[in-house]
Amino acid sequence: MSTANGADLPRTGRAGRQVLGRWGEQVACEYLERTLGWRVQQRNWRGRGGELDLVAQATAGEWVLVEVRTRQSGACGGPEESVSPAKRQRLWRLAVEWRASQRLYEAIPLRVDVIAVYVEAGRVQRWVHLRGAVEG
Rounded to an integer, what distance in angstroms lies between the CA atom of residue 91 and that of residue 41? 18
Would you say residue 6 lies in a domain?
Answer: no
Would you say residue 129 lies in a domain?
Answer: yes
Per-residue confidence band for 73, with pLDDT thresholds at 50, 70 and 90: low
Would you say residue 36 lies in a domain?
Answer: yes
Starting at the edge strand found earlier in the chain, the sheet holding 110-120 runs: 39-47, 50-57, 63-71, 110-120, 123-134
Would you say residue 3 lies in a domain?
Answer: no
pLDDT of residue 95: 93
The tens digit of pLDDT for each residue in 24-35 reads: 999 999 999 999
Structural domain containing residue 83: 13-134
Would you say residue 40 lies in a domain?
Answer: yes
Would you say residue 8 lies in a domain?
Answer: no
Q: What is the mean pLDDT of the chain?
A: 84
Asked if residue 102 has pLDDT above 80, the reply is yes
Would you say residue 60 lies in a domain?
Answer: yes
Its pTM stands at: 0.83
pLDDT of residue 7: 42
> For position 121, which CATH number holds?
3.40.1350.10
Q: How many domains does the chain have?
A: 1
Query: Which residues are paired to 116 by β-bridges?
Result: 69, 128
Would you say residue 4 lies in a domain?
Answer: no
